[in-house]
Amino acid sequence: MAELSYRDAVAHGIAQEMRRDPQLVMLGEDIAGAGGVFKTTVGLLDQFGPDRVRDTPISEQAILGAAMGAAMTGVPVIAEIMFSDFLAVCFDIVANEMAKSRYMTGGQMSVPVVVRTANGGGSRFGAQHSQSVENWCMMIPGLKVVAPSTPSDVVGLLAASIRDPDPVVFFEHKSLMASKGEVPDGEVIDELGKAKIVREGSDATIVALAYMVPRALEAADRLAEDGIDAEVIDLRTLVPLDTNAILTSVTKTSRAFTVEENPRLCGWGAEIASIVAHEAFWDLDGPVVRITTPHIPLPAAEALEDMAIPSVDRIVTTVKENLD
């Protein structure tokens, strides 16, 4: 068992899979000699060489166009889009090409591409480099969507994503890069579509993703001081979505809260609220409550960004107000 940072876990997970599959290649801006702008690919060029770890021009369309072309011939690819905001630049390839190819060829062709990208706020990068956009991809049929919160999950879910025959968008949260956690020795592989109960409780269910998971856990500890026993679910993947874990927890606690870094309008929590209201309505003792970022461009100013993104204080206050 080794303790790794979140960013080192990314490189560790990629290396594990590149050793396993000699065909696997990686494409992206500054991922080779520079080790990635977030230092998530440090050392991979030395281990696997320039034929497999390839720097690209500053062109998201070129990166994903090349990745899809290679994947169509059977070569699995990890493609890095530096900031998740830049998925908007190449979304046609993601949403109309990669996501539709298996369907449009009647299952004759798969596109084994993992699109890795740095997601979310907290780093003061401003409105064009701080968005949390996992809901953009969640709405596209044919894409799988992953967003780990711990180094161990980074390695295991990255392995599962790379081995999946379909396109996966893998969101790595910028504000988690320095966080540390234990990663098991040997090969680590997880399963897509399985949420984790990271804290058990009986009074309320808090559903969170990525950077909001440690905040939800801290909030749950503070709520416990006031006699509120909150259960925290780390979704880990949005597609496939582990509805069974959510509904089982809500049936037990009778109250549901989502903590989302997305802007409020059409965030992933709205889908969960709809599912819970439809499938577990009679088990609820109150409405599903969403704790979100407002529907605004994310500010760069420190105080304003902190005010916009759900904080531990806001989670605690919201849960207490709605359980009173």
Catalytic residue positions? 129
Find out whether 323 and 297 touch, Cβ atoms under 8 Å. no
User: Going edge to edge, which strands form the sheet with 204-208?
Assistant: 196-199, 230-234, 204-208, 256-263, 289-293
Rounded-to-10 torsion of CA 154, 156, 157, 162: 110
Sign of the Cα torsion 10, 173, 82, 101 reads positive
- List, as one string, the DSSP characters of 252-274: HHS-EEEEEEEESTT-HHHHHHH
- List, as one string, the DSSP characters of 162-220: HHSSS-EEEEEEGGGTT-EEEE-SS-----TT--EEEE--SSEEEEE-TTHHHHHHHHH
Helix (H, G, I), strand (E, B) or coil at 76: coil
Determine whether 197 is exposed, middle or buried from the number of CB atoms within 10 Å of its CB (0-12, 13-18, 19+).
Answer: middle
- Of 157, 160, 167, nearest to 113 by C-alpha is 167
CA–CA dist 220, 1 (Å, integer): 27
For residue 96, give the DSSP letter: I
- Of 184, 180, 232, nearest to 205 by C-alpha is 232
Find out whether 320 and 228 touch, Cβ atoms under 8 Å. yes
- Of 113, 147, 142, nearest to 132 by C-alpha is 147
* Structure-token pair, residue 18: 């590149």
Residues 6+ apart with CB under 8 A from 32: 41, 44, 45, 50, 53, 54, 55
In this structure, the chain runs to a length of: 324
